[in-house]
Each structure stands twice: as structure tokens, then as C-alpha cells.
Structure 1
Amino acid sequence: MTRRLRTAIVVLAALVLAAGGPARAVEDPPPFGFVGAEVQPVALAEAQALGMEAPRGVFVRDLVPWGPAYRAGLRRGDVLLDYAGVSITGLQHLVSLVQGSRPEDAVPIARRRLGQEQSLSLTLIDYPPGWSVRTEATAVLPRLGLTLAALTPRMRERAGIRWGSTGLLVTEVEPESPAAVLGLEAGELVVAADRERLIDPAAAEFALAEADVLLVEGRRGFRLVVLDAGAEPLPPPVMAAGVSWQAVPGLGLVVLDVAHRTPGAAAGLAAGDLVTAIEGADGLPDADTALALAITPARLSVEGLDDAAPRMVALSPQPSLNLAEAVALIEPLGAAVASLTPPMRDSFTLRPSTRGVVVTSAVPGGRAAEAGLRPGLVIVAVNQRFVERPGDVSEELSAAMAQSAAEAVLLIEGAQGFRIVGLPLKDKAPVAPTPNLLQWQGEPAE
């Protein structure tokens, strides 16, 4: 961004604020601890598909990899049975249990996975920035042709923003404006300006005026947007150790996205983290350094968006999967699926962190269509077993049908996040309506 444009935006922002300005977005974090998990109810047929006689607990459908629940060992698709030593009878019961806990409490929990029950312990933390915005606020930046809004629960629901995402919501981009030229689109989130997390639209006016780079989350995941149109383009991101890395000359490696069940998730890395040094290596890390992380263990010096000081992170290597390009029709599913090869990811606009198999077509009136599956959705797990290839799906469904199960439990990822659905395995079996989801971080249901 040129200095003249920055100055103009600062002056404009000052005039807007002097005239009264937009309302400020105010965070109102609750006094109880942050768990970092999204849950949904367990239906009878889903419970029976997992070997339970009756529904117990709640499904864990998503987690943040840096949060207490993931660090304790919970994974997507688990059934959370107990919290603080008490058996969970439903969503509202869980909320009341969480509201009785505080940050830094060590809470015993129990989960069920693959027929086994296991006791775990999680340590609660304070609510992270951006997770408890309650006040509606909007900022209009005429010079950029951009309108930003605070991400309140109402705005999140209206815009279809996935659970776990934070930032300022882009509500309008004027055609042919500087924001449009930069590739910003309505419905995306501006997460940070340089190293400053964005929560309040009023404060963002000045932050955007001074920033060189924006961290933006859209349908394809996270990306960096360079505000100076005359600057050299950034090199393509690199995927290694389950992390999408963006090399930024003169800065280091920025974490764009982190896949679950990978070394990057185990290390607690999050979007926006900046790697400024690698132990034993000279100079700033670059794209070649990122590629080496796929095969070489390393200790990284990491600066988070909310960290007061750098932290050291140990990262293990993880070789890439060799996935075939073929599309396979899975008859018990009533749909064709494919492994997530780069062409498939591009074809269906999938995030680099997404794992599983993508639905490429669904037979009209078939089981997949009945369960709400459509092309572009990704099957992450079947009956709590994670899948990577079409054959994995076929094997798990065949095993369920051999046991005369009425349903199989599918963990699905779409553009708006994760959900768990019951797939009918018997012809003309009715599909139970999905109960209302409580997007849970320990908050009461509305």
C-alpha cells in the first residue's frame, strides 16, 4: 500500500470517528473456562451404530487444535460421556456443568471411541480474543471500497461462518474497488492486519491503514493478502507436517492452516502463527525450509497473534500420502467419492487442511442423498474411523451392514464446518431429523 493511500485512509478514519463514528464491538467473555469444542446430540440410531444401547453424552463434531479439548485427547467424532465426573444427559446439562468451572480448572472427562471408553483430563483456559463479541458494529472504508462488521453470533449465523473462525466479516466489496482488486469477497473474514488480530471494526480502520499484509479466511481456508499492489507476489504456500506454510520474505513462515491428526496440530500451531527461526539453522526460514519440515524434525521459534513472547515448538515430520486419482462408486453409500488429490481439492474448492474423501456425485433417491450428502462435501470418518481413500469408506459401510446396523455415523465437512449425520443402511429407512445444534464453548443455548 502506498504511503499516500495509507495517510488518506487514516485521515478519513479520523474524520469518521470525530463525527461520532461506528459503535465499538465489545467482547464480553464469560467467567467460566473455554473448552474449545463444538458438540451436537446423539440420536438413538447413531448411538446403536456405535454399539450403545441408548443415547449417552454428546458428539464432538469439531475442535480447535490449540484448545484444551484437543490437547486432552478428544477428536472429532468422539462421544463425550462425562464432564467433571458427571454423566452428560444432554446439551443443556453439559452447559450447566461447564458454567460451574473456571479457567485453569483441571476437569476430568470421559469419551467413547471405537467401542472403548477412556478417561481424560483437560485444563480450561480463558476465552481467547474474538470468541465473545456481543456488540453489533460496522466500519465503512470508502477508500478501499470495503465494509466490515463485528462477528457476533447473529452475524456468524447469517453469513454461514464456520465454528471456530474469528475476525471481521466482509459484508460488502464495491465492484472495481481496491478491495475487489485485492481479491476480497463478501462473506470472508479479515482475521489480522500484519500481526494485529482484528475484532473491533472501529479499531480496524487504523490497523488497515498501516498494514502491509492481511490474514484472510475464505472458503479455501486462509491466505495472505498483500496490500501494496506494486509489491512482488508471495510464493505459493507449501504443505508440510500437516501445516500450510506461507513464506514471506523478510518475515519468515506464516501458518495458514493446520490439519487435525498431524504433527502441526500436535504442536499446537494455529493460523497466523509466525515462525521466525529454526533451531540450528541460519537466517529466516523460507519456502525451501518449509518443504524440509515434511521429512526433518525441527524446533521452531513461533510468535502467535496473541502471544506476549515467542515460544519454542517441537515439530515432527510426516510424509505425504500417496493418493490415487480414481473416482469410485460406493454402492452401499449411493454416491461416488474420491481421495483428496490436488486436482480434487481445486475442483471442489477445498481447504488444504481438509482430510477424508470428497463426494463427487450422489445417486438421486439413494442413501447418500437421503442423508443430505451432495457433491463437494467431504466424508471425514465412518463410525469414528477416519478415512482417506474410497476403499476405506466401502470397508466401513460393509462392516456395518454385516452387523445389520440401521445406520452408519458419518462425520462430514462442508464450507460451513463439520457435522455428524446418520446414513440409513436399510432400504426406505426413515432419517431422524437432526436436533438443533448447540455451538458449544460452554455458553447457554438460545
Structure 2
Amino acid sequence: INTAIFSTSGGYMGIGFAIPSNMAKAVMQSIIEHGKVIRGWLGVTIQNITPELAKHFGIKEDHGALVTDVVKDGPAEKAGFKRGDLIIEFDEKPVRDSTNLRNMVANTPPGKRVAVRIIRDGEEKILYVVLGEFPDNLAAVSPSEYNNVMRGVYVQEITPDLRAKLDIPDKVKGVIVTNIDDDSPAYGVLQRNDVIQEVDRKTVESVKDYKDALSGIGEDEGVLLLVYRKGGYIYITIKP
């Protein structure tokens, strides 16, 4: 489904942007049946596997999604997933990278039992997981949701468990960074577990606040963030 065109001439010549029709069809069907978009949830944070990471983990594969964290009491933890697992196959389909896996999980209905092939400590294993429904308080910004410097940054609300686990004071409000795609402009600047409190001087106390603040940032604009990190506050600039 065509959505936009980038053209320097003002005519219908240039780079076209489109949404896969199967994705749009699934979203439409979910809204018709449930009144909202229902997505499957695995309960892990993931990143792409790089040659350097593969070497350190003793992995020969150059594809897949590397598990960086497992959500407590989530579907993946109950199925036995661990940090450092490399997911190479989901529901009998090969996993190219982290974005590919996110899309496959999101398009799988909650409650379905899925076989997931992983590599752990150099050995292949198959884990069986019953997908959950993506919780409202774990909302994340996908790489394609905003075409600006914060693309590929995943955040969620600060839950009581996370606040206790990371020793975040009650007075600290904001959204917590759960993952950053390695092709994001924020990669290497933001860190996992950073708490974003302001976006361009706008206060952020929820995922909705975060998304609202991002919606006003253009493709070629930088952004100023106020971040709580390891007991202190710092200002960070993300450049396009």
C-alpha cells in the first residue's frame, strides 16, 4: 500500500514508501474483531547479531536475533529462554534479524504455542513458548514508527519491578530504554536502562508523552534529552 513519495521534482518520480499489504490486512482484521490492534508478545529484548558478537558468543551464524534480556514472568521466561540465546527460527520460519523476529511475533496471535529454534552455548535447542498479548504498559516505539533520530529506540513504562531491580528512586519519572537498534542514530549514545525524562525540554512521564514529544521532531533535526542514568542526571544530544 503506497503511503508517500520522496521527490525532488515535485512530480511522481522519486523514492516510494509503502506498507506491506499483509501487515495492513492483519491490523484491519484485528481492529474489526477486537476494536484494537492485538499483537503477540514473546517477552524478550533483542538485537542483531554482528560478526564481533558472534565471535564472542562462539556462534557461526550471521543471522538471527540475540536475546539481551528476558521479561520476568513473561512467556519467554516461562519457556526457558535466557540472555545470550540466539533465535534463528520462529514457528518453522528462519529469522533474519531482530526486526524480522519482532514482526513475526507481532503477527502471531496470542495463545498460540510456537516452536522457537535457538543456539545456546554453541548448541541448537528448540523451546516451545505460548505467546502472550502485548501488554499496554510495555508500549514500544518501532524503528518505522518515526523517521527521525529516535528511530529504533524501544521504551516502556517504569514498572514497580523495574524500579526495584534498577534502584530507580520514586521521584524519577519517565520511560525506560529497553533496547536500541544498532543502526539507530541513538546507538552508542543512549544506553539500556536509561530513563528518558525530557524530550526537547518537554516533560515525559509515560510512553504517550514520549510519543507525543517525538511526533514534532523532523527527519533532519537533532534532539535534546534529559536522562537519568546510574544515580545521576545528564543532558544528551542525538544528532541525525
TM-score (norm 2): 0.46
Larger radius of gyration: 1
Which gives a bigger RCO, structure 1 or 2 (Cα 8 Å, sep 6+)?
1
TM-score (norm 1): 0.26
